Structure 1
Amino acid sequence: MKPETKTLLKGKQKAKIEHTKSLIKGLFSPFILPAFALFFTGYSAVAQDKTAEVDKVFSWASKETPGCVCAVSQNGKVVVNRAYGSADLEREVPLDLNSVFDIGSVRKQFIAAATLLLVEEKKLSFTEDIHKYLPELPDYGQKITLDHLLTHTSGIRDWTGLLPLANGKPEAITLILRQRGLNFKPGEEWSYSNSGYVLLVEIVSRTTGMPFADFARKRLFEPLGMKSTTYVTDMTAAVKNRALGYEKTKDGWKLDMYLGNDRGGGAILSTATDLLLWNNALSTNRLGAFVTEKLQEPAKLNNGRKLGYARGLFLETYRGVKEVWHSGGAAGYHTWLGRFPEQGVSVAVLCNSDAKPATGLAERIVDQFVTYADSQPAIASTPPALTAEALEEVKGKTGLFFNEKTGEPLRLAVDRDRFRIANGPGLVPVGKDRYRRFGAFVQFMSQDEFELHFLSPDQFELKSMEGKTSKYRRAQPFTPTSADLQAYSGRYQNDEIGAFFDMDTVNNNLMGRANDAPAPGFEFKPVSKDTFQLGGITLRFVRDKAGKVVALDYSNPVVRNMRFTRSGDQASSR
């Protein structure tokens, strides 16, 4: 998974909304509802046994906790459809089969499908420069096509990585259009970017002359019978049967819902059964052969390498079985939707808290319904401990390394006889001086697949899923003096997002804060000369020929080397 980026400003917006739901009537407990037929006619003893196993997966949910709705279909027939936990803790309203959730990035496959409908009708083109549709987009000196946006290969910075720095609350589209640089040359790499799909929504709307919500309703939701699915841009609008989102804190459950209208590309609210209707449509070509095929066609880089991503969908092999899936997270909402087309199995898990990751729950559900090849290993949660010989081999390979091109830091460590990326996945030996991410081929998040090849104890190559090879070199220890820190102090500005950093020296520590955030800010730790880090944020200070610090380059997991120029000598120390 992507590393978490610590922001320098106030955290996510939370608010209460007034919400009323009818209490569920019936013979069964309203907090664990039985399966209902959606498009099936029988309920076998085998299905009942499977349902009992599914119930165990969600046994943690009760009327006093948020929960999940889980639905499973086999060959187009729903065999499990269950609700667990509460939709509204304050009013004691249970989740039910009609509960509506914000499905987060699962919406990307719907945006992609809407785009593909227009490509099929010759109203859009895969290969056309997107400036044709968005003339106000800056000239990056590179051609960016519609397909680059669909496949996350455009290089456009992810707006979610820019928002914490932006002054005010600009809309996502505004923030994207301000950018003057790319993370990489289009088609050269793969990097998940919400920005591409924000632009696609805008392109579809301009091309059709109608709001994206109307187009999606007329061309996708209504034809497929998805009666409880809506595309919304006003997150404060009342939505029938919406489950509230929550987060668990030390003080108990608190509402966790994104209600800001600056959210990029809007949101799709849906139910588990509607999502199975969508999966069934993909399995039966109800969207037409062209759209169905292109949604699931592996993307390619400029070098011809095929990716494990298509257009709005991940394409993986899970324990030897083909899998098509996507997950989504939006504040307290977490969703997983996947298909195993060779076996006719579809699974939808929609949750209204972060108490249990939807992806992990989905893994356990999938295991009940998918038959795996005998030769495939079972999923393990941790890598195996290294032998004494292997531990000796990795001794000289631990420590802090830096990407030679981007400055991205990566720390390797040994923890309980296991070699791993610090605070990240484990690494297992696959050959001399070669290590692979543990679980890359059997776990759901295999888009994070990579392999390390050590060229020397102080340098290694990292080969990622998309075929990109990056060189990392060991960081040289740096203990800055007071004079060193003073050289970094001052204000740094970036006009693209209208933001600035104030860097100050406080008690021999380098403190940073953005946009008049309260002093003293956050401490950035030195990791090498001119490079400091805070969580997933890296600052690299830039010097002129005379050696004076004149700028800093800001990077996080989805933004690379955004230049902030020093605006004058405003250094301070305390």
Structure 2
Amino acid sequence: MKQIIFLYFTVFTTFSVTSQNITNDIDGLFSMRENLNGPGGVVLVTQNNKTVFEKAYGLENISYKIPNTSESVFNIGSMSKQFTAMGIVLLQMEGKLSIDDDIKKYLPELNNFGKPITIRHLLHHTSGFRSSPELFGLAGWRDGDAISNEDFYRYLTKQTALNFEPGSEYMYTNSGYILLAKIIENVSKQNFKSWMKEKIFQPLQMNATFIEENSSNVVSKVATSYSEIEPSVFNYVENNDLTYGASNVYSTSKDVLKWMKNFNEASMNWKSAFEMLKTVDVLNSGQKNNYGFGVFVDDFFGNHRIQHTGAIAGFRSVMYSYPDDNLEIIILSNFASNQLSKTADQISQLFLQSKLLSETYPEEIKPITLNNEVLKKYEGMYWSDKNNYSRKIYVENNTLWYLRSNNKKSPLIPITSTEFQMGGINEKLLVKFDIKTNTMKLISADNSIDVFEKYVDKPLLVEDLKEYTGTFYSSELETYYTISLKDDKLIGYHSRFGEFDIQILKQDVLSWSGMAVSKYKRNKKGSITGLTITMSRIRDLWFEKKQ
């Protein structure tokens, strides 16, 4: 069997013949979304040090009918991380710290996690720290509650466990960059906001760029952020995330361009520093991690790229730098619904050629035939403890099938008596069974492995559900959750959220309305002692059973 994988874009066009064509092509990407009475943004594209497209769309402020302009200032969200990373790089170049220092040297209040966490781990998102927005949400903070760096650090000092061993995985998290800001303050003995202005923004002549952690301050030319609650009806989105280091840099498209130009033509004073930002390392396993110091270092259909996006409140932003082609693409928006990365990809195609083949032919699969007796040995339910989902394996019409929770299924094509190639998908995925250990492994083309354990899917009685009730407390978050039975159904409760539904995934594993997964822990006598909570960017946070 040969499987053909078609790339998302099969045809790349080169730089259009005339600048007018380029202008029309880029403008056409935005014309469908342009609303003269709604929010919009600013688009800036340069190549070979020449502006090939610059245009502002929509309103900077709807109430006062102020249009966006090239001078409009936007919160660039997570694009802020590269500036914090630059702050660390400058301190290393001055000999005031090393990126391989243990962070406890500068943040002694943090707990000992068994293995050192370095500044390098924070820069690459490989520290294992749980993510700040999710921690606050699980602790009971609601949308609209203001969160400061002091609030964040108070929670981080109470953490006693990590998501994973430092350096073993990549997991994007704001926590690391908020900690980097605190390290900069502790080392420089200065306020982060003023130090960044003095050391980075002013020397690079980014005069319209600043850090603002107080959203109630009135600043000239700063766009108001919005979301669309129904067609052509917009709602002001207040920014209550007051943390800095990971976000809350405000800038203009022209200032962002001044910064981006340094990735391919930095002055002698800045060349080494910008080269360091592009540092990529490997994980403990040797697997590549393409997140450098505050930026992604990757490629777009074979074209070398440095990029990042941002999202906070109703602001959205994206920056793509193609150093080999001297091409920069910047889009800043005050509209939460904009799909800026997709648009930036489309703009990229107007200037670049694909350096990849349009078709990839994987190694030919040579299936074998297995009888139903062999196939039926693999039937059953399998659970991925890492990713918290189950899969059903069953035989039908002399074929072994892989059934997902959304009822979509794929045939498993036998290669050996224990190994199968998954069919019907545009990627190479090997499924390997081990009857002795009752496990199933999914092995991807990059050799990453997801292990599933076979389990008995038995229905739970009301008496079983009663075991799951009680009050559970987290000392790391200083918060309680209560689980009770109502009409023979489990209901969760938090003092700030109220009640929420709970669904059974399997024995001792429950879903909290699809937002989090709880896993009960038992002692040697089989009694429940507590539970762990796993959700986006948080793994196995412990809650002890109190009653």
Same fold by TM-score greater than 0.5: yes
Q: Once the 2 structures are TM-superposed, how far is the Cα of residue 320 of structure 1 from its aligned partner?
A: 1.7
Residue 372 of structure 1 deviates from its aligned partner by: 2.1
- Kindly state the Cα deviation for residue 543 of structure 1 after the two structures are TM-superposed: 1.4
Q: Is 1:71 aligned to residue 44 of structure 2?
A: yes
Provide the TM-score with structure 2 as the length reference.
0.82
Q: CA deviation at 1:46?
A: 2.3
Counterpart of 2:84, as a letter, is I
Give distance in 1, aligned partners of 2:177 and 2:124.
Answer: 10
Would the aligned equivalents of 2:492 and 2:501 in 1 still touch at CA under 8 Å? yes
Q: Which of 268, 277, 294 is residue 258 of structure 2 equivalent to?
A: 277
CA distance in 1, matches of 2:271, 2:305: 19
In the alignment, what sits opposite 2:224? 244
CA separation in 2, counterparts of 1:548 and 1:165?
A: 25
- 2:24 maps to 52
DSSP-derived class of the 1:324 partner: strand
**Mapped partners of 1:438, 1:222: distance in 2:** 51
CA distance 1:367–1:334, shift in 2 (3 Å):
same
Matched residue of 1:243: which SS?
coil
**Equivalent residue letter for 1:239:** V
Aligned residue number for residue 322 of structure 1: 304
Which of 345, 348, 355 pairs up with 2:337?
355
Aligned with 1:64: secondary structure? coil
SS in structure 2 opposite 1:273?
helix
- Report the CA distance between 1:158 and its aligned residue: 1.0
The amino acid that maps onto 1:273 is K
Q: Is the contact between residue 475 and residue 527 of structure 1 (CA under 8 Å) also seen in structure 2?
A: no
Tell me which structure has the larger Cα radius of gyration: 2
User: Is the contact between residue 499 and residue 515 of structure 1 (CA under 8 Å) also seen in structure 2?
Assistant: no
1:529 maps to what in 2?
Answer: 507
User: Per-residue CA shift, 1:447-483, capped at 9, x if unaligned?
Assistant: xxxx743113972235597x75331335643432211
**Structure 1 residue identity aligned to 2:506:** S
Q: 1:561 to 1:79 in 2, by over 3 A?
A: same
* Higher mean displacement: 349-358 or 251-260: 251-260
Determine the structure 1 residue equivalent to 2:493.
Answer: 513
- Equivalences for 1:3-42 in 2 at 5 Å? none
**Any residues of structure 2 matched to 1:69-468 within 5 Å, and which?**
69-167=42-140, 171-250=151-230, 252-261=233-242, 265=246, 267-286=248-267, 288-373=270-355, 375-376=357-358, 401-404=382-385, 406=386, 408-409=388-389, 433-434=420-421, 452-456=429-433, 459-461=440-442
**3-state DSSP of counterpart to 1:307:** coil
User: 5+ unaligned residues in a row in structure 1: which ranges?
Assistant: 1-43, 379-388, 390-394, 414-418, 441-450, 569-574
Q: Residues 142 and 375 (structure 1 numbering): CA distance in 2 closer, same or farther, change over 3 Å?
A: same
1:245–1:333 contact (8 Å) kept in structure 2: yes
d(CA) in 2 for partners of 1:184 and 1:63? 48
Rounded Cα–Cα distance in structure 2 between residues aligned with 1:120 and 1:320: 32
Instruction: Report if aligned partners of 2:280, 2:290 keep a CA contact under 8 Å in 1.
Output: yes
**Equivalent residue pairs, number:** 492
Going from structure 1 to structure 2, the CA distance change for 1:411 and 1:314 (only over 3 Å counts) comes to farther
TM-score (norm 1): 0.78
**Contact 2:77 2:247 (C-alpha < 8 Å) held by counterparts:** no
> 1:94/1:476 Cα in 2 relative to 1: closer, same or farther (>3 Å)?
farther
Q: Deviations over 1:38-70 (max 9, x none)?
A: xxxxxx982222111111111121212221211
Contact 1:116 1:294 in 2 (8 A): yes
Specify the SS of the correspondent of 1:163: helix
* TM superposition shift of 1:515: 3.5
- Please tell me the residue identity of whatever aligns with 1:97: S
- Measure, in 2, the Cα distance between the counterparts of 1:229 and 1:297: 25
Give distance in 2, aligned partners of 1:206 and 1:428.
57
